[in-house]
Structure 1
Amino acid sequence: MQRNDALSRIEALTKELNDHNYKYYVLAQPSISDFDFDQKLAELAALEKDYPEFLDPDSPTQKVGGDITKQFKTVRHKWPMLSLSNTYSEKELKDFDERIRKVLGDDFEYVCELKFDGLSISLTYEQGVLTRGVTRGDGTQGDEVTSNIKTIKSVPNKIKSGHFPDLFEIRGEVFMHRAAFERLNKERLENDEIPYANPRNFAAGTIKLQDSSEVAKRPLDCFLYFLYMDNRDRLFKTHWESLEAVKSWGFHVSEHTKLCRTIDEVLQFISYWDDARHKLSYDIDGIVIKVNSYAQQHELGFTAKSPRWAIAYKYKAEEVETILKSVSYQVGRTGAVTPVANLEPVQLSGTTVKRATLHNANEITRLDLHELDTVMVEKGGEIIPKIIGVNKDKRVPDTKQIAYPTHCPVCNTVLIRKEGEAVHYCPNELGCPPQIVGKIQHFISRKAMDIEGMGNETVEVLYKKGLLKQISDLYQLHHHKEELEQIERFGEKSINNMLLGIQKSKERPFQKVLFGLGIRYVGETIAKKLANSFKNIDNLIQASVEEIAAVDEIGERIAQSVKEYFSNTLHLHQVEILKGENLQFAIIEEEFQLNSNKLADKSFVISGVFEHYSREDLGKIIVQNGGKLLSGISAKLNYLVAGENMGPSKLAKAQKFNIPIISEVELIKMIQ
Structure 2
Amino acid sequence: MSQQRILELRRILDRLSYEYYVLDKPSVSDQEYDRYYQELESLEQQFPEYADPNSITQRVGGVVLDAFTKVEHSRAMLSLDDVFNLEELQDFDRKVREVEPNARYVAELKIDGLAMSLIYRNGTFVQAVTRGNGIVGEDVTHNVRTIQSIPMHIPYTEEVEVRGEVYMPNASFEMLNKQREEKGEELFANPRNAAAGSIRQLDSKIAASRKLDAFWYYFVNSSEFGIQSQEEALEKMEEMHLRVNPLRRICANMDEVWAFIQEIGEQRPHLPYAIDGMVIKVDSFAAQAHLGNTIRAPKWAIAYKFPAEEVVTKLLDIVLTVGRTGKITPNAVLEPVRVAGTTVSAATLHNEDMIKEKDVRINDDVVIRKAGDIIPEVVRAINERRDGTQAVYQFPNVCPVCGSELVRLPDEAAHYCINQDCPARVVESMIHFASRDAMNIDTLGEKKVEFFHDKGLLNTIEDIYRLVEHKEEILAFEGFKEKSYQNMIDAIEVSKQNPLEDLIFGLGIRQVGKKAAKILAKRFLTMDALMQASHDELTMIKDIGDITAQSIVAFFHEPKNIELINHLKAYGLRMDTEKEEIKESIFTGKTVVLTGTLTQLTRNEAKAILEGLGANVSGSVSKKTDYVIYGEAAGSKLTKANDLGVATMDEETFMKEVS
TM-score of the pair, normalised by structure 2: 0.55
Deviations 1:391-435 (A, max 9, x none): 9x9999994169763259xxxx9443253635683756469xxxx
Q: Cα 1:43–1:430, aligned 2, differ >3 Å: closer, same or farther?
A: farther
Q: Distance in 2 between matches of 1:76 and 1:406?
A: 56
How far did residue 41 of structure 1 move? 4.4
C-alpha deviation, 1:131, in angstroms: 2.9
Q: Quote the residue 1:300 is aligned against.
A: 291
**The residue matched to 1:419 in structure 2 has which SS?**
helix
Which residue of the partner structure matches residue 269 of structure 2? 278
Alignment of 1:248-397 (within 5 A): 248-319=239-310, 324-328=315-319, 341-343=332-334, 355-358=345-348, 364=350, 373=360, 377-379=368-370, 386-387=376-377
Contact 2:6/2:40 (8 A) holds in 1: no
CA distance, structure 2, for counterparts of residue 227 and residue 549 of structure 1: 51
The superposition leaves residues 584-620 of structure 1 with CA deviations (integer Å, 9 ceiling, x where unpaired) of xxxxxxxxxxxxxxxxxxxxxxxxxxxxxxxxxxxxx
The corresponding residue for 1:245 is: 236
Q: Does structure 2 conserve the Cα–Cα contact (< 8 Å) formed by 1:326 and 1:342?
A: yes
How far 1:44 moved relative to its partner? 2.5
Corresponding residue number in structure 1 for 2:450? 425
Name the Cα RMSD after superposition: 4.9
SS at match of 1:219: coil
Q: Are 2:129 and 1:119 equivalent residues in the alignment?
A: no
- 1:221 and 2:231 matched: no
| 1:154 paired to 2:125 | no
Contact 2:308/2:373, CA 8 A, preserved across alignment: no
Task: Indicate conservation of the 8 Å contact 2:336/2:345, yes or no.
Answer: no
Alignment-mate amino acid for residue 181 of structure 2 = L
Contact residue 54 and residue 125 of structure 2 kept, 8 A: no
1:178 aligns with 2:174: no
- The percent of aligned pairs where both chains have the same amino acid is 34
Looking at structure 2, the residues matched to 514 and 259 of structure 1 have their Cα atoms a distance apart, in angstroms, of 63
- Report the residue type matching 1:159 in the other structure: H
d(CA) in 2 for partners of 1:339, 1:518: 34
Residue identity opposite 2:128 in structure 1: G
Question: C-alpha displacement at 1:276, in angstroms?
Answer: 1.4
Q: Gapped runs of 5+ residues in structure 2?
A: 323-327, 385-389, 404-421, 433-445, 457-473, 504-659
Say which SS state the counterpart of residue 142 (structure 2) adopts: helix
How far is 1:170 from its partner?
1.2
Counterpart in 1 of 2:89? 93
Q: Structure 1 residues 516, 243: closer, same or farther in 2, change over 3 A? A: farther
Letter in 2 for 1:220: L
Q: Distance in 1 between matches of 2:476 and 2:235?
A: 47
Alpha-carbon distance, 1:514 to partner: 9.3
In the alignment, is residue 142 of structure 1 matched against residue 137 of structure 2?
A: yes
Matched, 1:207 2:199: yes
2:188 alignment counterpart: 196
Task: Give 1:278 deviation, angstroms.
Answer: 2.0
* Distance in 2, Cα, partners of 1:350 & 1:518: 35
Distance 2:423 2:338 in 1: 37
Offset of residue 53 of structure 1: 8.1
Unaligned runs of 5+ in 1: 332-336, 432-512, 520-526, 557-672
**Paired position in structure 2 for 1:103:** 99
Is the CA contact (8 Å cut-off) linking 1:367 and 1:389 kept in structure 2? Answer: no
In structure 2, the CA distance between the partners of 1:367 and 1:199, relative to structure 1 (3 Å rule), is farther
CA offset at residue 84 of structure 1?
Answer: 0.8
1:76 is matched with 72
2:132 maps to 1:131: no
Query: CA separation in 1, counterparts of 2:476 and 2:280?
Result: 48
| One-letter amino acid of the structure 1 residue matched with residue 282 of structure 2 | V
Give the Cα–Cα distance (whole angstroms) in 1 for the partners of residues 496 and 146 of structure 2. 29
Counterpart amino acid of 1:386? P
The AA in structure 1 aligned to 2:174 is: E
Q: Is the 1:285–1:381 Cα contact (8 Å) retained in structure 2?
A: no
Which amino acid is 1:161 matched to?
P
- Shift of the 143–428 alpha-carbon distance from structure 1 to 2, 3 Å rule, reads closer
- Residue matched to 1:235: 226
Contact 2:68 2:140 in 1 (8 A): yes
Q: Distance in 1 between matches of 2:92 and 2:294?
A: 14
Task: Measure, in 1, the Cα distance between the counterparts of 2:494 and 2:228.
Answer: 62
Match of 1:165 in 2: 158
Q: Is the alpha carbon distance of 1:217 and 1:299 closer, same or farther for their aligned partners in structure 2, counting shifts above 3 Å?
A: same
* Secondary structure in structure 2 of the residue aligned to 1:425: helix
Q: CA deviation at 1:347?
A: 7.8
Letter in 1 for 2:180: R
Provide the aligned length of Structure 1 versus Structure 2.
430
Shift of 1:218: 1.2
User: TM (normalized to structure 1)?
Assistant: 0.54
Maintained 8 Å contact 1:129/1:159: yes
